[in-house]
Amino acid sequence: MCNAGLPLCSPDSLIPRLLNKAIAHNQQIPHNREQLPPVIGDDDDDDNFDDDYFRKDWQRRVRTHFDQAGKKHSRRVARQAKAAKVAPRPTDLLRPVVRCPSIRYNRKVRAGRGFTLDELKAAGIPRLYAPTIGISVDGRRKNLSEESLAANVARLKAYKERLVVFPRRSNKVKQGDSKVDLANTETVQNLANALPIEKVASGFSEISKSDVPKAIEGGAYRKLRLARSEARNLGKREKRARDAAEAEAAKK
């Protein structure tokens, strides 16, 4: 062990200040540092100790959005270009009506990802043919109620009635293609607006004050507490009444 350049002598003869200096010097030498064994179960993602660093020159990392107006214009131009490219087809796909998840929001409906295979089968649309006519398909979703199945089947049939399928080649008309003139056909650019999802009626409605039941005399809380007390003390009161009757009979 290095002695920090001190003369060869026993550590006990050194004064405490020099002894501490020698110990500090020895601890700075790599081969004198104590190598602790790895802790069992210690992971690299151990976040028991915070390693916060707040000097990151945040003024140079502030994100600005001075291009907001330009981005808005670019998105509008891109939408118009897409609509012109896919015309006369709509720019979006037909989506099903689904319930929002969780008990808090399941009273609301919204557009889902795609129609189930059962819904397509009930509407008479082949699974592989549906994406080619603008219908979104989701093979993972399951129908948990007859109401949802019926609602989406009706939505598919309404779309199918209004659908006009043009042949890929005007001189080769296949089975299922429509023989109509494009110039005299009404086209839709957005299916979400053409077949909107209507809001369902809420599970509650407003009533007049006269329809409200009359208030319980003394309050509902007091009535509940009295009922609870009667149920808890029923045995005691019956025993007290029985003992009183026996005592009265004994006196006679």
Least-confidence region, from 8-12, 62-66, 155-159 = 8-12
Q: Which two tokens stand for residue 115?
A: 């129609």
Over residues 220-229, the mean pLDDT reads 93
Q: Is the per-residue pLDDT at 249 higher than 80?
A: yes
Residue 218 lies in a domain: no
Residue 3's domain comprises 1-33
Between CA 247 and CA 252 the distance in angstroms is: 9
100 and 29 fall within a common domain: no
Between CA 139 and CA 142 the distance in angstroms is: 8
DSSP alpha helix (H) spans, the chain:
16-28, 68-86, 102-105, 117-123, 146-162, 191-194, 220-232, 234-251
The pLDDT of residue 165 is 85
Give residues with Cβ within 8 angstroms of 65, minimum separation 6.
none
Question: pLDDT (tens digit, 9 = 90+) per residue, 25-66?
Answer: 766 665 555 554 554 555 555 556 666 666 678 788 888 999
Name the residue with higher pLDDT: 216 or 116: 116
The pLDDT of residue 13 is 53
Q: Is the per-residue pLDDT at 232 higher than 80?
A: yes
DSSP alpha helix (H) spans, 106-201:
117-123, 146-162, 191-194
At 99 the three-state DSSP class reads: strand
Q: Which element (helix H / strand E) includes 97?
A: strand 97-99
Q: Is the per-residue pLDDT at 238 higher than 90?
A: yes
Residue 206 lies in a domain: no
Q: What are phi and psi of 94, to 5 degrees?
A: -80, 125
Q: Is the per-residue pLDDT at 105 higher than 60?
A: yes
97 and 20 fall within a common domain: no
Between CA 96 and CA 105 the distance in angstroms is: 17
Q: What percent of the chain has pLDDT over 90?
A: 50
99 and 186 fall within a common domain: yes
Over residues 199-205, the mean pLDDT reads 77
Residue 199: name the closest of 112, 96, 100, 109 by CA.
109
Residue 228 lies in a domain: no
Least-confidence region, from 12-16, 136-140, 151-155, 209-213 = 12-16
Residue 8 lies in a domain: yes
Residue 217 lies in a domain: no
Domain count, the chain: 2
> What confidence tier does 211 reach under pLDDT thresholds 50, 70, 90?
confident
Q: Is the per-residue pLDDT at 10 higher than 60?
A: no
> What confidence tier does 166 reach under pLDDT thresholds 50, 70, 90?
confident
Over residues 195-201, the mean pLDDT reads 87
Name the residue with higher pLDDT: 53 or 218: 218
Residue 216 lies in a domain: no
Least-confidence region, from 96-100, 198-202, 224-228 = 198-202
Over residues 84-112, the mean pLDDT reads 93
176 and 112 fall within a common domain: yes
Over residues 151-174, the mean pLDDT reads 85
Residue 251 lies in a domain: no
What are the residues facing 30 on neighbouring strands?
Answer: none
